[in-house]
A and B are shown apart, each in its own frame.
Chain A
């Protein structure tokens, strides 16, 4: 283990480490703690300049309810869920199929196709912006939840295929070969043999894609206009304009927008990290 385990060092050093650990965490999360404190302050505190000290009143419930009653936040939240959940399902399904094809069959186009999926995953969004927006406008998908779902699913399919293909490639190939010799059809092999084995990969992709899509801001800005399809990220920005200098409300809204991905992370930390490391370093 590197660095040397703390238990092997002098008691003074151990003590110093244990004291410094919470302090460093406090400094690291200071911006977040500050906004958390702000979100429960009354408006008077901000106007009177008490933004760093102890709140004069704890307005947790008042402020968070105000966000929902005085804005479209509830609608934004609902949109985010209707955008994110179907995207995860479609992208992961596409990737299971494509990843299986690229990992199991040996045909000449397999590697070039795989590389196209990988490369597409890294392109800057701006090179896609004008044509995708134009396509959405022409097909009537502009400013709709469906339009965002279709785009996100397609784009995330690249990353998911990369991940899924590598995961399936690491499975023992003899399993599939022996099933073939016994005459099992190709789709049945995929469905009954491979799918149950890739469950961890599906979990990793699901939490990761959920977070990516939930946190998307660029496409929400490019492909939506009105309240009916705006997700919470774009919504928070709109609220920022609406609640000028009412930082307690902006803070409360921002924190609420952050809750679902944070929950996802805590509920499925192991899968989340496995996904982030592209499966390259096994956790």
Chain B
């Protein structure tokens, strides 16, 4: 393949302007400049600034004081940090249920009964609405006095539990609420995936006597791999980004038991508990490093695809 970056060669001395001669080398940078400017100022530079700030003690207004690794040393003895970290692990593990659950719903809905399109859209509904609204709906749902959970428990003559007020249940309650929109997201990924499954392979599988579970595992799932990959990626990111639900439903309570790193960071840096920008940045850096594992894996997969595409 000829290198397109070389200017089209003309015989004899080239008397065109400098831009005309080099335009294929310059043009991409002109096209890229605006997006790069925005992205560097608001995304790339702040990452490094945050890491830098994590070595300081700073209230956001006065002078920052260099403390070296002290913020990180403090993290090691911080029980609230460990609670948040543990809850993040819970989120990551339990949120993953959205992937098989989404597949299950997609298989259930992958039919051509009349009105199916509307059913699919309505099943997708929870993903479109804001997590703030989802959080409010479930806060009310869980309310032991006048929520739906309260009604059901009272109906069976039991004392309703206060799901969001009990340290043992609170995180599970929020994750359950979070699963609702996430299952819808995974479902739509799988529905589009199922649309593209090769019908001939399914028929071939049927002739070989594959049915139900065997067919799903050996014939369908391998073809759904791109959908599964994206479903896992978006679910991991969703789990590590969980902030809205916690802010709305419990604000990390009771006693910090439902905190996650994302919310704990916000709380330390920007709330009535004080403006500890340095300590908050240290928490953010830890969260960033966890995410970096997934980002690297994702980029590696993309890199392999790009290499194949050449």
Binding site for B on A (CB under 8 A): 1-3, 5-7, 17-18, 21, 24-25, 28-32, 34-35, 38, 46, 49, 51-52, 94-95, 97-98, 100-102, 104-107, 110-111, 113, 115-120, 122-135, 150-151, 153-155, 157-158, 161, 177, 180-181, 185-187, 190, 211, 214-215, 217-218, 221-222, 233-234, 236-237, 240, 247, 250-251, 254-255, 257-258, 261-262, 264-266, 269, 273, 276-278, 280-283
Given known A-B contacts A132-B46, A280-B226, A126 and B283 have beta carbons under 8 A apart? yes
- Beta-carbon contact of B133 and A34 below 8 Å: no
- Beta-carbon contact of B133 and A247 below 8 Å: no
Given known A-B contacts A2-B202, A25-B122, A132-B42, A277 and B248 have beta carbons under 8 A apart? no
- Beta-carbon contact of B126 and A32 below 8 Å: yes
- Beta-carbon contact of A105 and B47 below 8 Å: no
Q: Which residues of B contact A278 (CB under 8 A)?
A: 230
Q: Which of B8, B32, B113, B194 contacts A101 (CB 8 A)?
A: B32
Give A100's nearest chain B residue, CB to CB.
B31
How many residues does chain B have at the interface if contact means C-beta atoms less than 8 Å apart? 106
- Beta-carbon contact of B5 and A126 below 8 Å: no
Q: Which residues of A contact B284 (CB under 8 A)?
A: 124, 126-127, 129-130
- Beta-carbon contact of B241 and A38 below 8 Å: no
Q: Which of A5, A52, A94, A250 contacts B148 (CB 8 A)?
A: A52
A129–B275 Cα gap in the complex (Å)?
A: 13
* B158, CB-defined interface residue at 8 Å: no
- Beta-carbon contact of A177 and B4 below 8 Å: yes
* B99, CB-defined interface residue at 8 Å: no
Closest CB in chain B relative to A277 CB, distance in Å: 5
Secondary structure class of chain B's binding surface, majority of residues: helix
Q: Which of A31, A150, A185 contacts B137 (CB 8 A)?
A: A31
- Beta-carbon contact of A222 and B197 below 8 Å: no
A28–B199 Cα gap in the complex (Å)?
A: 30
Give B220's nearest chain A residue, CB to CB.
A2
- Beta-carbon contact of A122 and B39 below 8 Å: no
Q: Which of B39, B131, B138, B219 contacts A154 (CB 8 A)?
A: B39
Known: A240-B248, A257-B130, A281-B227. 12 other contacts (CB 8 A): A2-B110, A123-B43, A124-B241, A125-B241, A126-B266, A131-B50, A150-B38, A157-B39, A218-B244, A254-B137, A280-B226, A280-B230
Q: Which residues of B contact A134 (CB under 8 A)?
A: 60
Give A169's nearest chain B residue, CB to CB.
B309
- Beta-carbon contact of A127 and B50 below 8 Å: yes
B28, B35, B38, B128: which has the most chain A beta carbons within 10 Å? B35
Given known A-B contacts A127-B285, A266-B121, A281-B196, A250 and B136 have beta carbons under 8 A apart? yes
- Beta-carbon contact of B295 and A28 below 8 Å: no
Closest 9 pairs between A and B when the two form their complex, measured CB to CB:
A154-B42, A101-B31, A98-B35, A131-B46, A154-B38, A215-B130, A131-B49, A105-B28, A258-B129
- Beta-carbon contact of B27 and A240 below 8 Å: no
- Beta-carbon contact of A98 and B31 below 8 Å: yes
* Chain A to chain B contacts (Cβ below 8 Å), 12 pairs: A2-B216, A24-B108, A49-B146, A116-B44, A126-B283, A126-B288, A129-B270, A185-B23, A217-B248, A247-B140, A257-B132, A281-B227
Given known A-B contacts A35-B140, A123-B288, A29 and B133 have beta carbons under 8 A apart? no
Q: Which of B39, B125, B138, B270 contacts A222 (CB 8 A)?
A: B270
Q: Which stretch in B75-83, B89-97, B164-172, B184-192 binds the other chain?
A: B184-192
Given known A-B contacts A2-B216, A123-B43, A17 and B130 have beta carbons under 8 A apart? no
Q: Which residues of B contact A234 (CB under 8 A)?
A: 132
Closest CB in chain B relative to A81 CB, distance in Å: 15
Q: Which residues of A contact B125 (CB under 8 A)?
A: 29, 32, 262
Give B122's nearest chain A residue, CB to CB.
A25
- Beta-carbon contact of A25 and B123 below 8 Å: yes
- Beta-carbon contact of B42 and A155 below 8 Å: yes
Q: Which of A217, A251, A276 contacts B185 (CB 8 A)?
A: A276
A97–B237 Cα gap in the complex (Å)?
A: 27
- Beta-carbon contact of B113 and A18 below 8 Å: yes
- Beta-carbon contact of B189 and A277 below 8 Å: yes
